[in-house]
Amino acid sequence: MLYALGVLIVGLLIAVVYTLFCFTFVKEGTAKNVVRFGGYRKTILAKRGFRLSSDGDVVEGGSSSPALLGGLRWVSLLRPLGIDRIYSRTMRYTKALPDGKFERRQDENTDFILAGTQYQYGLEFSNAEDMKKLPLHGIMTMTAMIINPYKALFLVRDWFDALVTRVLPRVRQYISEHEYDKIINDPGTQLDRDVFAMLAHDGPGGEPSIISILKNQYGIELLALETVNIDPPEGYREATLAKWSAQQTADKDMEETAGRILKSVARLAHITEDELKEKLDANPKLRGIPNSEGGFKDDFDRAWDQVKRDRAGASGDLRDIRIGSVDGTPFAQGSIAELIGGVAAAFAVKDSGGGQRGVGNPGRQGNPRGGGRNSNDDSDELVDDEDDDHPDLSKMNPAQLRAWAERKDKRKTRRR
């Protein structure tokens, strides 16, 4: 009697253990596929308010597989024998983290798959050239969910690779058709929004869209696409900032120069700047009409010439030597003596290697010590004064200039 009771108890324990192995725990929002000798048999779904359709899609309405103790669900009586088992594999994917970073995951021996649950996956791209051949790299998030566990695991080798390889080419295509500056600055050019629209658009000849292919063939529903960042090569931002700074400086210099020229022209024309602006606004052609015809061309030329002289002086380039009056106007026509005097003065400056000191000094009349003759004298002779190295050449006639040059050569010979 006791022996029979013991056998019964042992048999019940074996039955309980065997029965437990006929179940599996399925977490809420996931599904498991059951295979028999490697062939698909059924899918077990755990999602409240959802069920599997006849096509294996996760749809609203009804209830999922019956559960015990929360997530414990029936598989089959053959599972303990190894005939039926839960399908498992290594799952590789990129997870998008809340801080905008990505995490590459490789989960070994994964026996479940998210089903009817939204998840943010990462999409990375590099060396995607824009319209100007600028290589860009960036990251995006893809919000997607598995709506058919069977298709995702058995109709495509790797469902995540299938998702990436379908979306990434459209991202590269869009970048190649637009400029980087517009992609990041133009509100009308949004990478994520526009690429998602491309993915949802049917192909030529009535071909299904990429989103439809993902959903109907792979069991993956793409819900959203968002750009996290898109960056140019290293150093591009610094170069762009330097270019912008240089442009700002150039614009400022141009504005200051334009203001200076207008002020100078107004002064030469004996009118106020406001009056000058009003005249130019009414007739912009006045800039190119000579003064003799009622325009301001001569005044603008003189003002701009003065600006160029100042720039040459600021840069240390004194080679721009002009011959003319102090106010920039040319000598009177036929004044050969003044012309020769100016040319001689220019060569004298070049020969001495110094500046233009002493030339055209109104305080000097002939010899500063009182020696020599008056510069208006037509005589060829001048007092041989060695201290007179910088006479007022512009007031000499040709004969006096020749005499001064010969005298200067003699002084150089004596000094040697």
40: tokens are: 């698909």
255: tokens are: 């504005």
- The predicted pLDDT at position 377 comes to 43
Q: How confident is the model at residue 160 (pLDDT cuts 50, 70, 90)?
A: very high
Q: Which residues pair with 110 in a beta bridge?
A: 89
Rounded Cα–Cα distance for residues 43 and 262 (Å): 84
Specify the higher pLDDT residue, 258 or 341: 258
Specify the higher pLDDT residue, 321 or 259: 259
181-194 b/e (C-beta count within 10 Å ≥ 16 → b)? eebbeeeeeebbeb
**Percent of the chain surpassing pLDDT 90:** 35
Q: How confident is the model at residue 176 (pLDDT cuts 50, 70, 90)?
A: very high
DSSP state of 224: E
Alpha helices in 177-234 (DSSP H): 180-185, 191-200, 210-218
SS3 220: strand
Nearest-10 Cα torsion for 289, 290, 295, 298: 120
CATH code assigned to 89-233? 3.30.479.30
Range in 14-18, 50-54, 382-386 the model is least confident about: 382-386
pTM value is 0.56
pLDDT > 70? residue 351: no
- The predicted pLDDT at position 63 comes to 72
Range in 21-30, 183-192, 397-406 the model is least confident about: 397-406
DSSP state of 128: E
- The predicted pLDDT at position 206 comes to 84
2: tokens are: 């006791």
Classify burial at 42, counting beta carbons within 10 Å of its beta carbon; exposed 0-12, middle 13-18, buried 19 or more.
Answer: middle
Classify burial at 80, counting beta carbons within 10 Å of its beta carbon; exposed 0-12, middle 13-18, buried 19 or more.
Answer: middle
Q: How does strand 23-25 pair with strand 30-36? A: unpaired
Mean pLDDT of 226-233: 89
80: tokens are: 């303990």
Q: Across all residues in the chain, what is the average pLDDT?
A: 78
Q: How does strand 89-96 pair with strand 102-110? A: antiparallel
Alpha helices in 155-293 (DSSP H): 159-176, 180-185, 191-200, 210-218, 236-268, 273-282
For the chain, what are the domain ranges? Answer: 20-87, 89-233, 234-319, 321-416
Range in 18-32, 47-61, 68-82, 388-402 the model is least confident about: 388-402
Return the closest-CA partner of residue 114 out of 55, 185, 48, 27: 27
Question: In this predicted model, what pLDDT tens digit does every residue of 33-42 receive, in sequence order?
Answer: 999 998 999 9
Classify burial at 8, counting beta carbons within 10 Å of its beta carbon; exposed 0-12, middle 13-18, buried 19 or more.
Answer: exposed
Question: In this predicted model, what pLDDT tens digit does every residue of 97-113 receive, in sequence order?
Answer: 888 889 999 988 899 99
331: tokens are: 């000598």
